Amino acid sequence: MSRIVDFSLNNRLIVIIVWLLVAAAGVNSLTRLPIDAVPDVTNIQVQVLTNSPGLPPEEVERFITFPVETAMSGLPAVEEIRSVSKFGLSVVTIVFEEGTDIYWARQLVGERLVEAREEIPEGYGEPAMGPISTGLGEIYQFEVRGEGYTPMELRTILDWYVNYQLRSVPGIVEVNSFGGELKTYQVTLDPGRLTAYGISVKEILDALESNNRNVGGGYIAHHGEQYLIRGEGLIETLEDLGDIIVTTDEHTGTPIYIKDLGRVEFAPMIRQGAVTRDGRGEAVVGIVMMLMGANSRVVVDEVKQKIEKIKKSLPEGVTIDTYYDRTELVHKTIKTVAKNLIEGGILVIVILLLFLGNVKGGLIVASAIPLSMLVAFSAMRLAGLSGNLMSLGAIDFGLIVDGSVVMIENVVRYLSEHRDDKRPHIEKVRAACREVARPVVFAVGIIIIVYLPILALTGVEGKMFKPMALTVVFALAGSLVCAMTLMPVLASLFLVNIKEKEPLLFSLAKRVYRPVIKRVMGRPAVTFGVALSVFAASISFTPFMGTEFIPELDEGAIALQIWRLPSVSLEKSNEISTLAERVLKEEFAVEIDTIVSRTGRAEIATDPMGVEISDTYIMLNPREQWRYESKEALIEAMDEVLKERVPGAIFSYSQPIELRVAELISGVRSDVAIKIYGDDLELMKKKADEVVRIVREVPGAADTKAEQVIGLPTMRVRIDRQAIARYGINAEDILDVIQAIGGKEAGVIVEGQKRFTLQVRFDESVRRGLDRIGDLKIEAPVGAGDSPRLIPLSQLASIEIEEGPAQISRENISRRITVETNVRGRDLGSFVAEAQDRLDREFTLPPGWYMDWGGQFENLQEASRMLALLVPVALLLIFVLLYSTFNSARLAALIYLNVPMAVTGGVFALLLRGYPFSISAGVGFIALFGVAVLNGVVLVSYIVQKRKSGASAFDAAAMGAMARLRPVLMTALVASFGFVPMALATSAGAEVQRPLATVVIGGLVTSTLLTLLVLPSVYRWFAGDEGAAGGRAADRTS
């Protein structure tokens, strides 16, 4: 250690130049560092989406979902396969192990999709992978508005003017259109005219296919020139479509055109989703999805610039209205982090100046703060970390300056004590720095080491806290190098001819401390007994603390979910959503800025909702304008009003990012999920309802509901094979007619660069009543010259109305149903414990079925298991380092007493503030252990030096206590006060930081008391023969 100090002092100019270069590199890294609100905790997953319009859930599961799941089984590094089969949609999610390269995973899935496509019947849809995005991917959302424009026109503008240009922005993987009406060219058939002309649906489909294409005829060479030959027969307008000939009248030879059989018109594609806003009806919105790993701040800024350009090219009267911008949350969160860091830094510098009594020394120590952070920024950029609430939010400037504090304090004291020494100034600085070089390296090294086990955390908690641990390690490593190299150099240059003036604050501390330490050293047994009793008391309180996963980050918005019966129509869902929006805007106009409801699913269905569910995003005004004290109180008031004024719906509450991330990670949208695995959907629904009844009665349960798997009314048209055989009709002819009820695709029509589906559909008269379906006619083959025979559908098939499944969820190749609940007004751990106890006593499952718990509780369990392993590892590492520092198990054990005393303070601090034990608090305890041990190392190192100089154990401990009072108080106070702004913060993102900061502050209070009072008093018990032989002689003469 001394060699580093010697090298630095012998090469002062080189050291200063190197640190200037380090600072320049750090500034450059800071300007390029990706900035986000929180770490992206989404697991590595690939979604396989298959649209099959009109297919019911059971058919989707059988013909699409199961083949895809089977093809994906056996892929390397796969952790989980889950799926949802809904009306017209299959979503299979393949979750890979952490650390898997997403592009390699997609390559594997893509290869297996070839196999899956072969198993899916023709016409049932083409499975495709979803966009490469995450739970934080929806970074920007906007509405396209225009007075006098229809929803279809606005949707066309969004799809072909706005989205196409936005996709060119680097970092954008997809722009998802939602709401409005997707334009199609439609032949709307009149069943009466079809009957009158004796024409079947199949003939119309054949005619459309035969009259909508271009061909090339090669070329002709003429007079030395080459003429290309093009045959053009594409449909370009509605007139072209109407003028297509289907057949000719056998008797008159008159051509029968498409326009003779119904209407040709622009009509919407059948849809399973819509958007409403602010109670004024339907809206057309775009959702910008960011590429996984991109820089959200940069991408959003570029999206905004692009939108400003797009606005200039939009049709007159059309505007783009942004209602969700991720950078608002990013700015709020980073503002919280910056405020905490600045305030913490100011407090640290004030304490340094108050205790050091030397302005130059205080400023030299303070310089370690920006330099260490610039080192951290460079390392973060190299490691691919982003600056966010977790990676920057847990930085404590007090920790960063601890090594420099000890170094400069010792230099100031040494120079003051050796004022009359004739040695050169640089040699005195060298001697002072050498005295503490080893304890500084080991003390800061211990703090770094205890952060390393956090890097072993996996899952959500790993993604949350690994960036924090790495950033702290980078900053501490920078601070250690700074303390060992730059601090001696700056001390040698600026701390010349100093006279140590004992600061007033330190003078008062000494005056209080001297009689106290004298008394406790005379009563070591009593002192140790009191410390032990306080520790035992803290441990006795831990069972009453409760547990939760991670405190909820306030995103500044509410995600309200509206649940209805599965049989509800999209139109009725929109009515309910619009009513809810209107009610909320009326009652909470002060708190609410805007409300957007997304019902059902978008075209790219990464979130496979049915039309019975709406995600309603409530954007809030600044909290200063609210009439309510907290967000919880606002949600309670909203819930009360909605339940009273919006009947026929269930409401649950979350936040936009939280909801999306929870859905992607575990497939559930609530704090707790109870999953029942079985095979009989109806029995699964009954059992799930039983669970809902039991869990709803547990105190703290909120928004408890079962997954809606049954209750979708279905008309089943079963073809009678014998009947169609009698008439010589093929099943395909009947199925074409059935598909034409909802819309049968018949090709594509191209308008310049734009492409629109061409479809055939029966007019509204067929869809007005269930009985009208049976009257549809199917043409039967006849002999030459005979009149066409049209047979009613009711004579060729049985038509039944029954209640079918609304959706079928699967996990690991087994059907499952989920009961979800949120927890309010209570900690998660105790709620689940009571719910599990109630279910064990009151609930049974059929043989072969089983139940599992998921959601945030699953994350809490996994994180608790990891902490139970990592905390002992951290404690063991501390002991090993202590032993290697002093080569004494006894002295290592003495300093180790700081750990239980630190735990005592942390526990009492959490209890006083009413916080449950969370993973944030657990990480705080791990960090605390290292800080707590640092002061013990500084004190005991000095005591050992005095023993080697011949002092007795008692005298060495007494002298060490007084001599090291200032550095111990300074390191403890700067570390504590560095966390104070974080512990008291109330702005965006502070919820996650507060438990961690609370633990460290509380723990440092008790561990500092132990260092200053208990360690000196009980040192004699642990000292043994440590120290020089002269120590024993001193003992005998004392």
What is the secondary structure of 188-239 as a DSSP string?
EE-HHHHHHHT--HHHHHHHHHHTS-EEEEEEEEETTEEEEEEEE----SHH
Residue 77 is classified by DSSP as T
Chain centroid offset of residue 62 CA: 33
Q: Are residues 485 and 530 in the same domain?
A: no
Scored b (16 or more CB within 10 A) or e, 193-221 reads: ebbebbbbbbbbbebbeebbeeeeeeeee
Question: Amino acid identity, residue 853?
Answer: W
Q: Does any domain span residue 363?
A: yes
CA distances from 623 to 324, 515, 593, 641, 820 (A): 17, 51, 12, 20, 30
In-domain check, residue 54: yes
Q: Which of 164-178, 321-335, 710-724, 744-758 has the lowest mean pLDDT?
A: 321-335
pLDDT, tens only, 467-494: 888 998 999 999 999 999 999 999 898 8
The tens digit of pLDDT for each residue in 357-392 reads: 777 888 888 888 889 989 999 999 898 888 877 777
Angle at CA 708, nearest 5°, toward 706 and 714?
A: 160
Residue 234 maps to which CATH number? 3.30.2090.10
**Which alpha helices (H) appear in 588-674, and where do they start and end?**
631-645, 656-666
Domain final position from 480, 498, 516: 498
Whether residue 563 is found in the same domain as residue 649: yes
Q: At 234, phi and psi to the nearest 5?
A: -70, 145
Given a contact cutoff of 8 angstroms between Cβ atoms, the answer to whether 843 and 744 are in contact is: no
pLDDT tens profile 301-328 = 999 999 999 999 899 999 999 998 888 8
**Per the structure block, which two tokens stand in for 252?**
């008159």
Residue finishing a domain among 639, 654, 669: 654
Q: Is 655 in contact with 558 (CB distance < 8 Å)?
A: yes
* 629 φ, ψ (degrees, to nearest 5): -70, -35
Count of beta carbons in the 10 Å neighbourhood of residue 563: 17
Residues contacting residue 16 through CB under 8 Å, at least 6 positions apart: 486, 489
Q: Are 676 and 843 in contact (CB under 8 A)?
A: no
Whole-number average pLDDT of the chain: 85
CA neighbor of 160 nearest in space, from 147, 138, 144: 144
Residues 595 and 607: their CA atoms lie apart, in Å, by 19
Give the number of other Cβ atoms within 10 Å of residue 928's Cβ. Answer: 28
| DSSP state string for 969-985 | HHHHHHHHHHHHHHHH-
Task: State residue 1022's pLDDT score.
Answer: 80
In degrees and rounded to multiples of 5, residue 158 shows phi and psi of -60, -50
pLDDT at 623: 84
Does residue 827 sit within a domain?
Answer: no
- Stated length of the chain: 1038
How many domains, in total, are found in the chain? 5
pLDDT tens for 789-821 read: 888 889 999 988 888 888 899 987 788 999 988
825-841 tens-digit pLDDT: 788 888 888 999 999 99
Sequence-distant (≥ 6) Cβ neighbours of residue 1000 within 8 angstroms: 396, 906, 924, 927, 928, 931, 975, 976, 979
Burial class (CB in 10 A: 0-12, 13-18, 19+), 893: middle
Give the residue from 330, 329, 325, 328 showing the smallest Cα distance to 286.
325
**Residue 123's domain is classified under what CATH number?**
3.30.70.1430
More confident residue, 635 or 963: 635
Q: Which of 200-214, 286-300, 330-344, 947-961 has the lowest mean pLDDT?
A: 330-344
Alpha-carbon distance 315 to 302, whole Å?
22
Q: Is residue 1018 part of a domain?
A: yes
Lowest-confidence region among 145-154, 166-175, 346-355: 346-355
pLDDT surpasses 80 at 858: no
Please indicate, yes or no, if residue 674 is contained in any of the structural domains.
no
pLDDT at 871 exceeding the cut of 90:
no
From the CB of residue 833, how many other CB atoms can be counted at a distance below 10 Å?
14
Question: How far, in Å, CA of 978 to CA of 345, rounded?
Answer: 6
Q: How far apart are CA 508 and CA 513, in angstroms?
A: 9
Residue pLDDT, tens place only, 392-441? 766 777 778 878 888 888 888 888 888 777 788 888 889 988 888 887 88
Considering the domain architecture, whether residues 903 and 1004 belong to the same structural domain is answered as yes
Q: Are residues 446 and 532 in the same domain?
A: no
Per DSSP, which regions of 665-764 are E strands? 672-678, 701-706, 710-719, 744-751, 754-762
Position 710 pLDDT exceeds 50? yes
How large is the average pLDDT for residues 1009-1023? 82
Q: Flag whether 669 is in a domain.
A: no
What pLDDT score was predicted for residue 1035?
36
Is the same domain home to 105 and 201?
Answer: no
Tokens found for residue 579: 């009513």
What is the SS3 assignment for 777?
strand
Does residue 836 fall inside a structural domain?
A: no
Q: Token pair for residue 328?
A: 């608002």
Helix axes 919-948, 953-963, angle to 10 degrees: 120
- Which residues, at least 6 apart from 664, have a Cβ–Cβ distance to it below 8 Å? 42, 43, 45, 93, 134, 135
Range in 183-187, 270-274, 380-384, 921-925 with the lowest mean pLDDT: 921-925
Task: Give the residue carrying structure tokens 């169609």.
Answer: 724
Q: What is the pLDDT of residue 786?
A: 64
pLDDT grade for 1032, boundaries at 50, 70 and 90 = very low
Is-contact 927 952, C-beta < 8 A? no
- Which residue type sits at 281? G
Q: Given this model, what pLDDT does residue 549 score? A: 72
Matching residue, tokens 């075209």: 603
- Reduced 3-state DSSP string for 488-557: HHHHHHHCCCCCCCCCHHHHHHHHHHHHHHHHHHHCHHHHHHHHHHHHHHHHHHHHHCCECCCCCCCCCE
Give dist(CA 228, CA 206) in Å, integer: 29
Helix axis angle for 1015-1023 and 953-963, nearest 10°, is: 150
Query: What is the pLDDT confidence band of residue 677, given thresholds at 50, 70 and 90?
Result: very high
CB 596 within 8 A of CB 323: yes
Do 647 and 732 lie in one domain? The reply is: no
Return the structure tokens found at 532: 């032990």
Answer yes or no: is pLDDT of 16 > 90. Answer: yes
Q: Looking at the structure, do residues 490 and 511 belong to the same domain, yes or no? A: no
927-984 pLDDT, tens per residue? 788 777 877 887 888 888 888 887 888 888 888 888 878 878 877 887 788 778 878 8
Question: Do 523 and 641 lie in a common domain?
Answer: no
Tokens of 319: 């505007």
Retrieve residue 4's tokens: 């580093």
Q: Is 964 domain-assigned? A: yes
pLDDT on residue 113: 93
- The answer to whether residue 1038 scores a pLDDT higher than 50 is no
The token pair at 193 is: 């005219």
Phi-psi region at 592: left, alpha or beta (left = phi > 0; alpha = psi -120 to 50): beta
Last-in-domain residue among 805, 839, 872:
805
- CB contact burial 410-443 (16+ within 10 A = b; e otherwise): bbbbbbeeeeeeeeeebebbbbbbbbbbebbbbb
Q: Are strands 754-762 and 744-751 parallel, antiparallel or unpaired?
A: antiparallel
The secondary structure of residue 385, as a DSSP letter, is P
Query: The CATH number of the domain where 946 resides is what?
Result: 1.20.1640.10
Same domain membership, residue 1020 and residue 901: yes
Task: Say how far apart CA 557 and CA 685 lie, in whole Å.
Answer: 33
467/361 same-domain check: yes
pLDDT at 388: 78
pLDDT of residue 101 exceeding 50: yes
> Does residue 82 sit in helix, strand or coil?
strand
**Alpha carbon distances (Å) from 807 to 88, 117, 427:** 10, 22, 80
- Running DSSP on this structure, what letter comes out for residue 269? P
Residue 666 has a pLDDT of: 66
| Strand pairing class (255-257; 318-325) | unpaired
Same domain, 934 and 977: yes
**Co-location of 8 and 56 in the same domain:** no
Distance between CA atoms of residues 701 and 828, nearest Å: 10
Task: State the alpha helices, DSSP H only, in 33-176.
Answer: 57-60, 66-72, 102-119, 151-157, 163-166
Quickly state the pLDDT bin for 55 (edges 50, 70, 90).
Answer: confident
Convert the pLDDT of each residue in 612-634 to its tens digit. 889 999 999 988 889 988 888 99
Q: What is the pLDDT of residue 604?
A: 65
How far, CA to CA in Å, does 691 sit from each of 96, 167, 516, 842, 847? 31, 45, 60, 9, 17
pLDDT above 90: residue 893? no
Range of the domain at 52: 43-133
> Which of 235-249, 358-372, 497-511, 520-534: highest mean pLDDT?
235-249
CA-atom Rg of the chain in angstroms: 37
State both tokens at 609: 């909702």
* Alpha carbon distance 704, 695 (integer Å): 7
**Can you read off the two tokens belonging to residue 69?**
């799941």
